[in-house]
């Protein structure tokens, strides 16, 4: 009878641990602004994901853009310049400054919701 008790105790601990592992860190208090929603739509319409990754997922022709607006390497001004002019292989989408700002708002939302060890 004692063995059964130990088994149920272990099962209970396993279930508790599983619940904790699968729910910890899944809530997010960062709300997507209207501008960021517009930027997300532009991101989807222009299929940026075919060349770029967000959170490590996407195409591999261009760099991962998860932290492009939130780290020193990129930043908002640099990103805006790239969006308005394109690059050597990055297409010029002829965005208006407002559209570029909306995409930057979306990329900032992405950057702020990313879990990283280096920011």
Is 52 among the residues that bind ligand HEC (CB under 6 A)? yes
Which residues, at least 6 apart from 39, have a Cβ–Cβ distance to it below 8 Å?
Answer: 101, 102, 103, 104, 105, 106, 107, 109
Q: Which of 89, 96, 117, 118 binds ligand HEC (CB under 6 A)?
A: 89
Per rule CB under 6 A, count of chain residues that contact ligand HEC: 23
Q: Residues 20, 12: contact at Cβ < 8 Å?
A: no
Is 48 among the residues that bind ligand HEC (CB under 6 A)? yes
Q: Which stretch binds ligand HEC (CB under 6 A): 1-9, 10-18, 20-28, 78-86?
A: 78-86
Is 105 among the residues that bind ligand HEC (CB under 6 A)? no
Is 38 among the residues that bind ligand HEC (CB under 6 A)? no
Per the listing, tokens 């770029």 go with 52
Spell out the SS3 assignment of 24-61: CCCCCCCCCCHHHHHHHHHHHHCCHHHCCEECCEECCC
Question: In angstroms, rounded to a whole number, what is the distance separating the alpha carbons of residues 64 and 54?
Answer: 6
Is 88 among the residues that bind ligand HEC (CB under 6 A)? yes
**Interacting residues with ligand HEC (CB under 6 A):** 43, 46-48, 50-52, 61-63, 65, 68, 74, 79, 82-83, 87-91, 93, 103
């Amino acid at each position: 009878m004692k063995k059964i008790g130990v088994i149920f105790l272990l099962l209970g601990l396993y279930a508790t641990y599983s619940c904790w592992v699968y729910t910890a860190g899944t809530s997010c208090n960062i709300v997507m602004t209207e501008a960021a929603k517009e930027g997300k739509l532009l991101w989807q319409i222009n299929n940026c994901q075919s060349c770029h990754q967000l959170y490590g997922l996407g195409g591999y022709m261009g760099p991962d853009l998860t932290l492009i607006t939130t780290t020193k390497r990129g930043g908002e001004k640099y990103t805006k310049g790239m969006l308005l002019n394109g690059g050597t292989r990055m297409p010029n989408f002829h965005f208006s400054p407002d559209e570029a700002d909306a995409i930057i708002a979306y990329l900032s939302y992405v950057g702020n919701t990313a879990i990283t060890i280096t920011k």
